[in-house]
Chains A and B, each alone.
Chain A
Amino acid sequence: MENTIIEIVEFSFSINSRAILKDISLSVKEGEYISIVGPNGAGKTTLLKCLDRIHKGGNGDIRIAGKPLDKYSQKELAQKLSYVPQADGRISPFTVYEFVMMGRYPHLSPFSSPGKRDEDAVHDALDITGISEFSERLLPTLSGGERQKVFIAAALAQGAKVLLLDEPTTFLDPRHQADVHRLLERANRERGFTVLSVTHDINNAILTSRRIMALKDGTVVFCGPADKFMNNEILYKIYEKSFLFVKHPQTGKAITVPEMP
């Protein structure tokens, strides 16, 4: 549990000479569940994309399992990290099973058919996410909530121990939000997946993750245990807005509620 899986040291990244990330440092241990929060445009998504080399380059040092990021081939990296992007609405006409099986790409070579190990991994991922019963349906016929579970299942099937998620619950109804949070928590607790999740839902960040990192304008403004996060001194720095707090009836943790005008 104590091995560092991701080590980011003073990492900066710019797009068209506009700095998006400035001197980010973060060390993630195996089995952690970290929520990344911050206002729109703070660089949260960019950070995930840099980790997964969807964005290449940048200054500073990123190591995955001790090895510098740029020493990985894309396939090797895919065996360490998997990524669930923000839903973009353009869905290809694959079946759920076909799509989840594509998660096995880093373990397949050309011409080889998926073997038993691949099939087991896919069935396991379909089980964890609770979508086995519609594995033969086509992606475009699924609801947003079902689709998000399929994307997470494909990432789990990939066999990488780190899950990067970009706003996994943003467009989902309350039931599917709860479903997704529960399955991520199970993947984290029971299967030992390390989870880095970008979210705007600070209440859920408090309840699900032990550590929270907050970005604003490309810099880290808070990084620490979740219970230290919920106070207006910190939150105002991030969102330029103060919040009202109440105690969560089950856990006693502070959560925010909307303020009346």
Chain B
Amino acid sequence: MALLFVLAIIVFSCAPIVGMNTIPLSAVLHPASGGMESNIFWKIRIPRVCISFLAGAGLAVSGMAFQAMFRNPLATPFTLGVASGASLGAAIYVRLGLVFSVLGISGISIASFAGAILSILLVYGLTRARRGFSTATMLLAGVAISFFFSSVILFTQYMSDFSQSFRILRWLMGGLEVVGFESVLNMAPFVISGSAIIIYMTYELNLLMTGEEIAISRGVSVWRTKKILFFATSLMVGGVVSICGPIGFVGMMVPHICRLLIGADHRYLTPATLLFGGAFLTLCDMLARTLIAPAEIPVGIITALLGGPFFIWLLLGKTSSKRGII
């Protein structure tokens, strides 16, 4: 745990320094000097690292909550269609050319959040209608909704003009290119409030993971708890996806790695997942920026390149079900 904390700090402090242009220390120390290096550092690198960290932490901890709630190692914002719901919300917002904000929170984040909530309710409703959360039903429902929303997104994009279409495409590729702190301030309330709710519910997550009936008999109001958790995860996924697009695999692999490292108790697993998720995505983004510099690889490609093999190992690894995996 302490190790994770140290790792997170190292990544957090190294990531802004590494990049296409090396940043001299003097530029870091004098943010107001107005030189190019100091501008790159303070207006591009730092916000970008903040966004990566927030996005990684939010996606990872949402994945962790889903895995516990659905008692399924494959439950993530993606397999459950939540991320595509959020993308759809963002796509529709762009297509309609809406521009509004509520209490300083941009409309696109709110649209994403609405999309996330919608898809989660659909998946949950479908699995409930078929009585119980059989793994197969849940994943099928999630995949079906994911496909359905994806084609609605494509349709939305098809019906859009060139600039809208490009903006929508940019989301779908998943990216962390932001300039200035505006996006950070936009995403932070979503991720912070969502994870605060999850940290508040760690006992409930533990019990949900042992099974719904046991959770009820231990005194958890399961239905209420699930509603709150759905709300919290939708907040985070919506907040992240509206700015970064659907970034794959962080939500699935980070919680599993953390569970292998420190066990299943959510009182420790939750902070570990937040830290590791943030550090992991920041690291992936650092690779994405530097591997083929001056060009950038979309970060979704890096996370999926690392995540894909892991996913397969997870599917095949019978022994992994003994420890760590749900």
Contacts and interface: CB of A to CB of B under 8 A. Distances in A.
B302 interface: no
B219 A75 contact: yes
B263 interface: yes
B221 to A, nearest CB: 5
Contacts of B213: 49, 54, 83, 85
Given A85-B214, A110-B200, A93 B326 contact: yes
Given A75-B219, A83-B217, A94-B209, 12 more contacts: A49-B213, A54-B213, A77-B219, A82-B217, A83-B213, A85-B214, A88-B211, A92-B71, A93-B259, A93-B323, A94-B206, A105-B218
Interface string B302-322: 000000000000000000011
Contacts of A141: 322
B272 interface: no
B225 to A, nearest CB: 10
A103 interface: yes
Contacts of B323: 93, 138, 140
Nearest to B202: A110
A90 B73 CA distance: 12
Contact of B207 (A49, A93, A105): A105
A39 interface: no
Range, interface on chain B: 20 to 34
Interface residues of A, number: 36
B325 interface: yes
Nearest to B224: A74
B179 interface: no
B67 to A, nearest CB: 10
B201 to A, nearest CB: 7
Interface of B: 71, 200-203, 206-207, 209-214, 216-221, 259, 263-265, 321-326
Contacts of A75: 219, 221
A105 B202 CA distance: 11
A99 B210 contact: yes
Contacts of B219: 74-79, 105-106
B211 to A, nearest CB: 7
Considering the complex of A and B, which 9 residue pairs feature the smallest CB-CB distances, nearest first? Answer: A78-B219, A83-B217, A106-B219, A75-B219, A105-B218, A74-B221, A92-B209, A93-B264, A85-B213
Contacts of B211: 85, 88, 90, 92
A108 B201 CA distance: 12
Contact of B265 (A49, A98, A106): A98
Given A77-B219, A106-B219, A93 B200 contact: no
A234 interface: no
Contact of B216 (A74, A94, A103, A111): A74
B206 to A, nearest CB: 6
B324 A93 contact: yes
Contact of B217 (A78, A95, A111, A138): A78
Contacts of A74: 216, 219-221
B210 A78 contact: no
Contacts of B221: 73-75
A11 B325 CA distance: 42
A92 B218 contact: no
27 contacts: A49-B213, A52-B216, A53-B216, A54-B212, A54-B216, A74-B216, A77-B219, A78-B217, A79-B219, A82-B218, A83-B213, A83-B214, A85-B217, A92-B71, A92-B210, A93-B326, A94-B263, A94-B265, A98-B263, A98-B265, A102-B207, A105-B203, A105-B220, A110-B200, A110-B202, A110-B203, A138-B323
A79 B214 CA distance: 14
A81 interface: yes
A85 B211 CA distance: 10
Nearest to A109: B203
Contacts of B209: 92, 94
Nearest to A91: B210
A140 B265 contact: no
Interface string A53-88: 110000000000000000001111111011101001
Nearest to B206: A102
A155 to B, nearest CB: 8
Nearest to A138: B323
Nearest to A108: B203
A40 B319 CA distance: 35
Contacts of A99: 210
B263 A95 contact: yes
A81 B202 CA distance: 23
